[in-house]
Structure 1
Amino acid sequence: MEQPVVRYSRAEYIETETGNKVSRKSVICGSQNIILSGKTIIQTDCVIRGDLRRAGPSQAVVIAIGRYCLLGQRSIIRPPHKTYKGVFSYYPMKIGDHVMIGERSIVEAANIGSYVEIGRNCIIGRFAMIKDGCRIEDNTVIAPGTVVPSFSVYAGNPGRLVGELPECTQELYEARSKDAYQKFVPV
């Protein structure tokens, strides 16, 4: 499926040396604790909480986002947290390459693999793990701690397996994410 051309105001986005395009209207907290690998688009009103982290130098990077990712408008990315033996802590989050996160989705997963599509209005619970090559349908709630296996389609509240994807999914999602990046052009 070919992506439509999306035009944006050059003044509204910051483009980094590695090709990341970040909306000036997004909220990036603790940017020193966030790694963007390159050619990622962070759209308007996104919130990325890199300031929520464990104390100490060993936990410096809280959120790592791969190449060719697209974070939809008003999506929220924050690291998972838990209380263990009376101590409240945040844990690192890793998002792979070629991941598309839909508008108004909230992600608190421990790990999202590469070649993943998360629909609009989804909630990905704390410490969930989404393996490579998955699709999460619109309005899906993935319960905390859920492991979504590779090449699966989840939908519903709570999210359940509703289908499987072919092994060519990786090539399709890679082509789609690169196409979306190339068609995200300044006016």
Structure 2
Amino acid sequence: MEPPITYYTKAEYIETDTGNKVSRKSVICGSQNIVLGGKTIIQTECIVRGDLRRTGGGHAVVIAIGRYCLLSQRCILRPPYKTYKGVFNYYPMKIGDHVVIGEDSVVEAAQIGSHVHIGKDCVIGRFVIIKDCCKILDGTVIPPNTVIPSFSVYGGNPGRLVDELPESTQELYEARTKQFYYEKFIAEHA
């Protein structure tokens, strides 16, 4: 599936030294606790909750996002949480390189590997681990604590294995995210 060309207003986005493009219309909480790997795009109305972190001193990386990732419009990233021995805590979220998260998806995973595509309107439950080279179909709900093996396609509610991906998935996803960043996400001339 070829990604469509997306036009954006340059003034609406903040571009960092490492090439990240973050919409001014997104809500980024606790930015000191969020690490973007470079050339990542965070589109309008996304919510990234870096402020939800363990209590205690020092800065902790709450959400780490790799290179060439795309957070589509209105998606929500918040770290997973649980109560352990009577103490409520948040835990870090790590997202690999070349990851696409579709519009209106809510993600509370502990870890998302590299070369992963999450469709639109998905709910990824707390402490889910998605290994490298996976696809989550549109509208899928992944229950908490699920581990999704590499080269899997998950769909449905609750999400379950529906297909497998070819070994060329890594190269395909890498080419697609780079193409979107360089050729399909285009600033409008004002």
AA aligned opposite 2:175: A
CA offset at residue 55 of structure 1? 1.6
Of stretches 48-57 and 165-174 in structure 1, the one that deviates more from structure 2 is 48-57
Q: How many residues align structurally? A: 187
Whole-angstrom distance in 2 between the partners of 1:5 and 1:88 = 43
Give secondary structure in 1 for the equivalent of 2:162. strand
Find the counterpart in structure 2 of residue 127 from structure 1.
Answer: 127
Find the counterpart in structure 2 of residue 55 from structure 1.
Answer: 55
Whole-angstrom distance in 2 between the partners of 1:165 and 1:114 = 14
The answer to whether the 8 Å contact 1:102/1:121 transfers is yes
Compute the RMSD of aligned alpha carbons.
1.0
Find the counterpart in structure 1 of residue 103 from structure 2.
Answer: 103
Give secondary structure in 2 for the equivalent of 1:138. coil
TM-score where L is the length of structure 2: 0.96
CA offset at residue 65 of structure 1? 0.1
Residues 2-32 of structure 1: CA deviation (Å, up to 9, x unaligned): 3332110011111100000000000000000
Residues 105-158 of structure 1: CA deviation (Å, up to 9, x unaligned): 000000000000000000000000000000000000000000000000000000
Find the counterpart in structure 2 of residue 12 from structure 1.
Answer: 12
Find the counterpart in structure 1 of residue 185 from structure 2.
Answer: 184
AA aligned opposite 1:141: V
CA offset at residue 181 of structure 1? 0.6
Find the counterpart in structure 2 of residue 3 from structure 1.
Answer: 3
TM-score where L is the length of structure 1: 0.98
* Structure 2 CA distance for partners of 1:167 and 1:59, relative to 1, 3 Å: farther
Q: 2:95 matched to 1:114?
A: no
The answer to whether the 8 Å contact 1:53/1:59 transfers is no
The answer to whether the 8 Å contact 2:80/2:109 transfers is yes
Whole-angstrom distance in 1 between the partners of 2:102 and 2:121 = 7
Give secondary structure in 2 for the equivalent of 1:28. strand
AA aligned opposite 1:149: P
Q: Extract structure 1 runs of 4+ deviating beyond 4 A.
A: none
Give secondary structure in 1 for the equivalent of 2:176. helix
* Structure 2 CA distance for partners of 1:142 and 1:42, relative to 1, 3 Å: same
CA offset at residue 66 of structure 1? 0.2
Whole-angstrom distance in 2 between the partners of 1:129 and 1:105 = 16
Please give the residue correspondences for 1:15-94 in structure 2 after superposition, counting only pairs within 5 Å. 15-57=15-57, 60-94=60-94
Give secondary structure in 2 for the equivalent of 1:173. helix
The answer to whether the 8 Å contact 2:38/2:66 transfers is yes
The answer to whether the 8 Å contact 2:32/2:59 transfers is no
The answer to whether the 8 Å contact 1:152/1:165 transfers is yes
Whole-angstrom distance in 2 between the partners of 1:24 and 1:58 = 27
AA aligned opposite 2:148: V
The answer to whether the 8 Å contact 1:124/1:144 transfers is yes
The answer to whether the 8 Å contact 1:99/1:116 transfers is yes
